[in-house]
Amino acid sequence: MHGQIPRGAIHSHVRTDSRTVTDSTTVSVVTVTYYTGPVFWTCIASILAQSELLELIVVVNGADQDVRAQLANMAERDPRIRIVNPGRNVGFAPGCNLGAQLARGDYLAFINPDCSFAPGTFGAVLDIFDQQPNAWIVGGRLQHPDGREQRGGRRAFLTPWRGFVEMTRLDLLFPKHPHFKRHHLFDEPPLLEPARVPVVSGAFMMIPRAYFERLDGMDSNLFLHVDDSDLCLRVHLQGGEVWYAGNVPIFHHCSTSRASRFFVEWHKTRSGCYYFRKHFRGSYPTWSLHLFSVFLWMRLLILAPKFLLFGPARNDAVEAAPHEPISARDHATV
């Protein structure tokens, strides 16, 4: 499928005080799926090809009966596969937490079910943890199958003002002004080696299980979207670092779900409003947060006819919509 990434193929400097990552280090993968489509099986094959894999925990928020049967057959043949059926669509962050509670590996990898990657990917990510002892989260270089970097893989901190600039693209009017910087960083010079960044995408991220537990997991109030921005911000508040593995390509496939676009956008809006209230009540005037929430809901109301007519959500919608501040992981939760 993809060429193997050799262990140790990292271009950053090795730290002598690094945490120990050995050949016995194990990774538990949690993937949350909701009617993902055929690429789901490609994702599973990519995960099972990683030598550090201890277990693959699949949280099934929704799937057809034939998919459930095939998953059950795979689990019977491969004891590394564990299936969790919540009985309903519990959302992305709650689904990740549900899977993480069952995990036994040294590290947790949260991987969207529409991602694929080469053998050796986990080893390359673990090398970064080994070399950067204060790294709490490492994310991969999300890219399209043709190699173009995807929007959302590396980002600045999401603040109300930065979200407003991203949605309105005020940065185009003031391209050099420091107060009009974009939320997404994919249009900056490409990063092809590990680098510290504020935020990485939850489509592919790895974190030591002990740190995830210290953070009390993801915020279960975030049914869909903004969970990665919230988690990365809390890592920084705890004194940890977030790293972007620019040398680790993750192929993020698009348009794989039958999800309702309006439902996705509704939850994006709800999660965004919750996130801004949670983190910025002490630094933004209350009236400004209320005003921005009204702006978000008005945007949804204006675009609702388009979303309702559009039909199923497309994961590449963020690529086509310059006003969209939040990356799509719709296939996993809606």
C-alpha distances in Å from residue 92, one per residue of 17, 102, 111, 112, 267: 35, 16, 11, 10, 11
Cα–Cα dist 114/251, whole Å: 8
Q: What percent of the chain has pLDDT over 70?
A: 85
Task: Identify the residue with better confidence: 170 or 230.
Answer: 230
Query: Residue 173 carries which side chain, given as an amino acid letter?
Result: L
Domains of the chain: 1-334 (3.90.550.10)
- The H-assigned helical ranges of 238-285 are 261-280
- One-letter amino acid at 125 equals V
Residue partners of 107: CB distance under 8 A and separation at least 6: 25, 26, 27, 28, 126, 129, 206, 207, 208, 209
Distance CA 203, CA 110 (A): 7
Rounded mean pLDDT of the chain?
Answer: 87
* 55-72 confidence digits (pLDDT tens): 999 999 999 999 999 999
> pLDDT per residue over 287-304, tens digit each?
999 999 999 999 999 988
- Residue 33 CA: distances (Å) to CA of 13, 38, 181, 201, 245: 37, 12, 33, 17, 24
Q: Which tokens go with 189?
A: 């010079």
What is the C-alpha to C-alpha distance for residues 334 and 319, in angstroms, rounded to an integer? Answer: 19
What predicted TM-score, i.e. pTM, was given to this entire model? 0.86
271-to-151, 183, 293 alpha-carbon distances in Å = 19, 16, 11
Mention every residue, 6+ apart, whose C-beta is less than 8 A from residue 313: 257, 259, 260, 261, 263, 264, 328, 330, 331, 334
Q: DSSP character for 172?
A: G
State pLDDT tens for residues 190-226. Answer: 899 999 999 999 999 999 999 999 999 999 999 999 9
pLDDT higher than 80, residue 18: no
pLDDT of residue 332: 47
Give the residue among 10, 26, 23 at the shortest CA–CA distance from 208: 26
Mean pLDDT value across residues 173-184? 87
The first and second tokens of residue 237, run together, are 């508040």
CA–CA separation, 126 and 286 (whole Å):
42
Measured distance CA(36)–CA(332) in Å, rounded: 7
CA distances to 99, 114, 151 from 200, in Å: 20, 17, 11
Q: Please choose, from the candidates 75, 95, 97, 79, the residue with its C-alpha nearest in 3D space to the C-alpha of residue 34.
A: 95
What SS3 state is found at 263? helix
Residue type, 28: S
DSSP class of residue 4 equals P
